[in-house]
C-alpha cells in the first residue's frame, strides 16, 4: 500500500520529488546517495522524505536550461489536475513568493477548489512539459463581478470574488461574465512569445465556447503594470473606475459584442450565426 500521511513541512515524498524533477527514479536516488538532495528518515520508519529546498533548486536549474535552448513546441491546453502544482509555482514566481509551506498549501487548496467546481477554468502553456504560462477564465455570478469592479483590493477579491461558490459553469446563460487572469514566465528569451500565445489561447477558447452555443458577453481583467495596462487598452478593454487606492489596481472590461478589434471578428461571426 502507498504512503497515506503527508510529508513534514519543507519536505517531499520520493514520488513527489521525482515528479517535480522529471527524472528516472534511479537518477534521483543517485543524487540522494551523493548528498545533492537531503533525506531524512523518521525514527522507526523505513521511508524517508526529501528537502523541498534542494529539490526546488535543482528543478529551477533544469527549467532554466531547458527554456534557454528549447525550440518552440509549446502547447496550450486545458489544465489537468496534475498541472495545478506547476500553475501555483508559476503564480508565486510572478506575483510574490509563496514563503512558508503553509502558505503554499493554502494557495494550492484554493486553486484546486476552483478547479473542482469547473475543470475548464484553467489553461496552461507548456514547453517541454514545463508550465511556462497559464490562463484562468472564471465564469462568475453577477455578485462577484460587482465585488471586483467596486474598488475592492486585489488581495481581497482574489479570495472572495473568485471563491468557488461564485464560479459558474460554461453553459448557455451561465457564462455571460468572465474574469481573466494571465501569467507568462518572465526573464526567458520567449517571454513575449509566451504572452502572445496565451492571449491567442483565450480567444480560441472563446470561439470554442461559441461553437458550443455558450456566449461570453463581457471579459473583465485587472492590472497594475504598465505592460498589462498597455496590452489591455490595445485589445480594446475599457477602464472601469474606481481604482483601489491601496494597491493602484486598474480594472478593465471588454464588450465582446461591440469591440472592433479584428482579433475577435471570428468570435463575433460565430455569435451572429448562433443568434441568426
Tens-digit pLDDT profile for the chain (276 aa)? 445 567 888 888 888 888 888 788 888 888 888 888 888 888 877 778 988 888 887 877 666 555 554 555 778 999 999 999 889 988 888 876 555 556 778 888 999 999 999 999 999 998 878 888 899 999 999 999 998 888 777 777 878 889 999 999 999 999 999 999 998 888 767 778 888 888 889 999 999 999 999 999 999 998 888 888 888 988 899 998 766 556 678 899 999 999 998 889 999 999 999 887
Q: Can you give the three-state secondary structure of the chain, one letter per residue?
A: CCCCCCCCCCEECHHHHHHHHCCCHHHHHHHHHCCCCCEECCCCCCCCEEEHHHHHHHHHHHHHHHHHHCCCCCEEEECCHHHHHHHHHHHHHHHCCCCCHHHHHHHHHHHHHHHHHCCCCEEEEEECCEEEEEEEEEEECHHHHHHHHCCCCHHHHCCCCCCHHHECCCCCCCCCEEEEEEEECCCCCCHHHHHHHHHHHHHHHHHHHHHCCCCCCEEEEEECCHHHHHHHHHCCCEEEEEEECCCCEEEEEEECCCCCCHHHHHHHHHHHHHHC
Report the pLDDT value the prediction gives residue 83, as an integer from 0 to 100.
92
Domains, the chain = 1-69 (1.10.1660), 74-275 (3.40.630.30)
Report the pLDDT value the prediction gives residue 1, as an integer from 0 to 100.
43
Report the pLDDT value the prediction gives residue 72, as an integer from 0 to 100.
59
Q: Output the pTM of the full model.
A: 0.73
Report the pLDDT value the prediction gives residue 29, as an integer from 0 to 100.
86
Report the pLDDT value the prediction gives residue 61, as an integer from 0 to 100.
67
Amino acid at each position: 500500500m502507498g504512503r497515506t500521511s503527508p510529508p513534514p513541512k519543507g519536505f517531499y515524498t520520493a514520488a513527489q520529488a521525482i515528479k517535480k524533477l522529471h527524472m528516472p527514479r534511479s537518477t534521483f536516488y543517485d543524487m540522494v546517495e551523493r548528498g545533492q538532495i537531503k533525506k531524512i528518515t523518521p525514527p522507526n520508519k523505513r521511508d524517508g522524505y526529501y528537502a523541498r529546498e534542494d529539490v526546488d533548486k535543482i528543478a529551477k536549474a533544469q527549467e532554466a536550461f531547458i527554456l534557454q535552448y528549447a525550440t518552440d513546441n509549446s502547447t496550450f491546453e486545458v489544465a489537468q489536475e496534475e498541472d495545478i502544482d506547476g500553475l501555483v509555482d508559476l503564480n508565486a514566481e510572478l506575483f510574490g513568493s509563496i514563503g512558508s509551506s503553509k502558505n503554499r498549501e493554502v494557495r494550492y487548496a484554493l486553486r484546486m477548489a476552483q478547479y473542482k467546481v469547473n475543470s475548464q477554468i484553467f489553461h496552461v502553456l507548456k514547453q517541454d512539459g514545463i508550465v511556462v504560462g497559464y490562463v484562468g477564465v472564471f465564469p462568475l455570478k453577477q455578485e462577484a463581478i460587482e465585488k471586483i469592479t467596486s474598488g475592492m483590493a486585489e488581495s481581497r477579491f482574489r479570495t472572495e470574488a473568485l471563491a468557488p461558490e461564485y464560479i459558474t459553469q460554461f453553459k448557455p446563460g451561465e457564462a455571460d461574465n468572465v474574469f481573466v487572469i494571465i501569467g507568462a514566465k518572465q526573464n526567458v528569451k520567449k517571454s513575449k512569445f509566451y504572452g502572445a500565445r496565451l492571449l491567442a489561447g483565450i480567444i480560441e477558447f472563446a470561439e470554442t465556447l461559441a461553437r458550443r452555443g455558450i456566449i461570453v458577453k463581457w471579459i473583465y481583467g485587472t492590472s497594475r503594470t504598465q505592460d498589462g495596462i498597455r496590452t489591455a487598452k490595445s485589445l480594446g478593454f475599457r477602464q472601469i473606475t474606481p481604482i483601489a487606492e491601496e494597491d493602484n489596481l486598474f480594472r478593465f472590461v471588454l464588450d465582446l459584442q461591440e469591440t472592433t478589434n479584428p482579433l475577435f471578428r471570428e468570435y463575433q461571426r460565430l455569435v451572429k450565426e448562433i443568434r441568426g
